[in-house]
Amino acid sequence: MLRLRPLILVGILAICAVPGATLGQSVGTGFDVGRFRAYPWINLFMSYESNYYKTSNDVLVNNTITSLGGLGPLSTWETVVEPGVRLTALKGADSYNLSYFARIGIVSASSADNFTDQQTQANANWEFGLRHRVTFNYQYWYWHNRRDSGSPADFSRVNFFYPHPDLWDSNRVTLGYSYGAPGARGRLDLMAGYRTRHYLNNNQEVRDNDRPVLGATLYTRVRPKVSLLFDAAWEKVNYTREAPGALTLDSEQMTLYTGVAWDATATTSGTVKFGWLGKNFTAGQPDNVSDFGWSAKIQYRPRTYSTFNLVTERTSAETNTGLADAVVVSLVNLDWVYYWKPRLYTRVEMLGTNDDYVGESRTDHRCNASGGVFYQMRQWLELGVKYTYEARTSNLPLRAADYNDNVLLISVRTAY
């Protein structure tokens, strides 16, 4: 029989709450729906943010923007309710998944910044004998970029003067093929995909783009749980609705990496790869990128109740300003999860980036530090509180892009 207690509890909290924001997908025990098993969830995030629009630390800059009719500093509560459901089915070694979730946000100090984001995803995994595997993934996004000072992390632009956040939708299709039996000396992974991103308001159609992508990774086992890898990736960025006569930002992005992947012990696993990073513009006039790039994901578990995760990469991103041609982002992220008791854990996370704007005399440094405590009160209920400090410094004059932000987040996650 379906238990209604988690839904009733979060419904009461959502009515009483005033404002949060974080993506989450809780996992419960689920229940059967025909041939599928359903896993519904509903989460609630309430947060207080000291600098919601991420405005400059310079008072003169803020006064100038507001005198022109733009946004000024804003401290506010935000509430996000996140319902979702995942359907799974198994057929022998094959698996099928379909999921949907929404993020409904209410900004108490500015109703113009309220939002409803939605995402749908379908994926399938097929195995054909021991050596052949095929994967399929489709995602549809209907999303927003909040009004603020912009970031290459989510391809958001400076938006202080439009009355609403930027809205966009995206279709993403990926097909993968893997060859190689488990434990074989060699393994080959191939990937092909296509991604679109179309803007729906604020006259941002010139940023619409389509992207075909290809990738291949060859693994060669040199020890029982250690493999060398050779990785190649290609992506074509086509801007589909650029202004007539404008210099096109169409480009091809490529990486050629080599590295190592391991799962050597119960305490450590990871993948490290590095090599050449390139971005060539079709027009030939913007500055091309030819640089050293890398990507690494490492997990270290000194104890069963303690886990460290390190992610670092250097990659190119599309420009989010009207002056730069592209952005080369170097990133390091470290988080530590520690279970003090089976139902009580803490999470500490630190993020640092270096953003080099190609074609513009600008370099930004972003940092983010957070810490949270989470308690699983029941099998279907988790409560948490988290504090985040975020800052950006830039070499732009007058500290125009510098900001600080403090966020206190209270979370309630439920799953059946």
Q: What is the 3-state secondary structure (H, E, C) of 220-268?
A: EEEECCEEEEEEEEEEEEEECCCCCCCCCCCEEEEEEEEEEEECCCCCE
Dihedral (Cα; 306, 311, 312, 316), 10-degree rounding: -170
Q: Name the residue type at position 3.
A: R
Provide CB contacts within 8 A for 237, sequence distance 6+. Answer: 209, 211, 249, 250, 251, 252, 253, 318
Tell me how far apart the alpha carbons of residues 106 and 19 are, in angstroms, rounded to a whole number. Answer: 6
- pLDDT score at 284: 75
Provide CB contacts within 8 A for 256, sequence distance 6+. Answer: 231, 232, 275, 276
Domain that holds residue 173: 5-415
Tell me how far apart the alpha carbons of residues 238 and 235 are, in angstroms, rounded to a whole number. Answer: 10
For residue 212, give the nearest of 238, 240, 176 by alpha carbon: 238
Q: Is the dihedral of CA 288, 294, 297, 300 positive or negative?
A: negative
CATH value at residue 201:
2.40.160
Query: If you ran DSSP here, which 8-state letter would residue 218 be given?
Result: E
Provide CB contacts within 8 A for 287, sequence distance 6+. Answer: 281, 325, 326, 358, 359
Tell me how far apart the alpha carbons of residues 319 and 152 are, in angstroms, rounded to a whole number. Answer: 7
- pLDDT score at 3: 36
Provide CB contacts within 8 A for 72, sequence distance 6+. Answer: 53, 55, 62, 65, 66
Distances (CA, A) of 361 to 61, 84, 327, 393, 399: 19, 44, 11, 14, 14
- pLDDT score at 27: 58
Tell me the pLDDT of the chain (416 aa) as tens digits.
333 333 333 333 333 333 333 333 445 889 999 999 999 999 999 999 999 999 999 999 999 999 999 999 999 999 999 999 999 999 999 999 999 999 999 999 999 999 999 999 999 999 999 999 999 999 999 999 999 999 999 999 999 999 999 999 999 999 999 999 988 999 999 999 999 999 999 999 999 999 999 999 999 999 989 999 999 999 999 999 998 888 899 999 999 999 999 987 779 999 999 999 999 999 877 789 999 999 999 999 999 999 999 999 999 999 998 889 999 999 999 999 999 999 999 999 999 999 999 989 999 999 999 999 999 999 899 999 999 999 999 999 988 999 999 999 999 999 98
Question: Residue 67 in 3-state DSSP?
Answer: helix
Question: Residue 57 in 3-state DSSP?
Answer: coil
- pLDDT score at 351: 98
- pLDDT score at 285: 72
State the total domains in the chain.
1
Tokens read off for 55: 């405005």
